[in-house]
A = this chain, B = another copy of it.
Amino acid sequence: MTTTAPAEPYGADPDQARAEVDSALDAFLADKARAVAGQCMPGEMAALLTDFLTAGGKRIRPLLCLNGWNLAGGRGRPLPVVRTAASLEMFHAFCLIHDDVMDRSDTRRGHPTLHRALAVRHAPGRTTTAANRLGASTAVLIGDLALTWSDELLHTAGLSHRQLTDVLPLLDAMRTEVMYGQYLDIIATGAPTVDVGQALAICRYKTAKYTIERPLHIGAALAGAEQSLLDSLSAFALPLGEAFQLRDDLLGVFGDPAHTGKPALDDLREGKATVLIALALRHATRTQADQLRHLLGHRDLTHDQAATARGVITATGAVQQVETMITERHGQALNHLRAAPLEPTSARLLEEFADTAVRRSA
Contact = CB atoms under 8 A, between A and B. Distances in A.
A190 B133 CA distance: 12
Contact of A148 (B40, B140, B179, B205): B179
A83 interface: no
Given A148-B179, A176-B149, A130 B190 contact: yes
A173 B31 CA distance: 13
Interface string A155-183: 11000010010001100100110011011
A38 interface: no
Contact of A151 (B104, B133, B172, B186): B172
Number of copies: 2
Contacts of A134: 186-187
Nearest to A168: B155
A125 interface: yes
Interface of A: 32, 36, 39-42, 45, 94, 98, 101-102, 104, 122, 125-126, 130, 133-134, 137-138, 140-142, 144-145, 147-149, 151-152, 155-156, 161, 164, 168-169, 172, 175-176, 179-180, 182-184, 186-187, 190-191, 197-198, 201, 205
6 contacts: A41-B201, A101-B137, A134-B187, A142-B183, A151-B151, A151-B172
